[in-house]
Structure 1
Amino acid sequence: MCAVVLSYVRPLDEVDALMPAHVAWLEAGFAEGAFLVAGRRDPRTGGVILMRGTADDVAAAAATDPFVTGGVATVEVIAFNASFAQPDLAGLLA
């Protein structure tokens, strides 16, 4: 499992211009079952996505995010081993 941390490097109007493509990318990732949770950082400086997969696979997928390919965000992939989870989430971690 990996946390994908997006950091905006361009003004929000440039980020917002790519939002429809980014949302479509997120929807595809959720439909494939690779994405578990996604949302904006607070304050709005980027986003965070929890994804299934190895660091290499997740990094390859994250590199296709329209925010990244469009140059409005950088991405950091943090691999981790989920050892604890609320019972409602435990099935998603396998």
Structure 2
Amino acid sequence: MFVVSLTYKVPDEIVDFHRPGHMAWLKDAFDAGVFLASGRRVPAIGGVLLSNADKLTLDESLSKDPFYSNGVADFEIIEFTATSVADGYENLLDS
């Protein structure tokens, strides 16, 4: 499983300019099953994505994000193995 942390590296006006493209890309990635959850960081300095896709699929998807291709944000990818989950989230366990 992967946690992807995005940190904006440009002024808010540039982030806002690219946000519609980012949101369209994100919808397509959710539809393709790449991501399980996403949201804004607090404070709003970037975002977080949760993925259970394989690394190649994740990398290919991220490369299409307008925030990535236009240099809007830095991306940190953290891989981890889910070994314990709350009831109802067993689908997140690594097999």
* Bigger Cα displacement from structure 2, 58-67 vs 69-78: 58-67
Q: Is the 8 A contact 1:38 1:49 kept in 2?
A: yes
Can you list the C-alpha shifts for 1:59-83, whole angstroms capped at 9, x where unaligned?
A: 3322221101111111111111011
CA RMSD in angstroms comes to 1.5
* 2:39 corresponding residue in structure 1: 39
TM-score (normalised: structure 1): 0.89
- Provide closer, same or farther for how the CA distance between residues 71 and 12 of structure 1 changes in structure 2, counting only shifts above 3 A: same
Q: Is the 8 A contact 1:58 1:77 kept in 2?
A: no
In terms of fraction of residues, the more helix-rich structure is 1
Report how many aligned residue pairs link the two structures. 94
Read off the aligned partner of 1:3 and give its amino acid letter. V
Read off the aligned partner of 1:86 and give its amino acid letter. A
Gaps of 5+ in 1: none
Instruction: Write out the 4+ residue segments of structure 1 that deviate beyond 4 Å after TM superposition.
Output: none
Equivalent position SS for 1:68: helix
Can you list the C-alpha shifts for 1:22-44, whole angstroms capped at 9, x where unaligned?
A: 00111111111110000000001
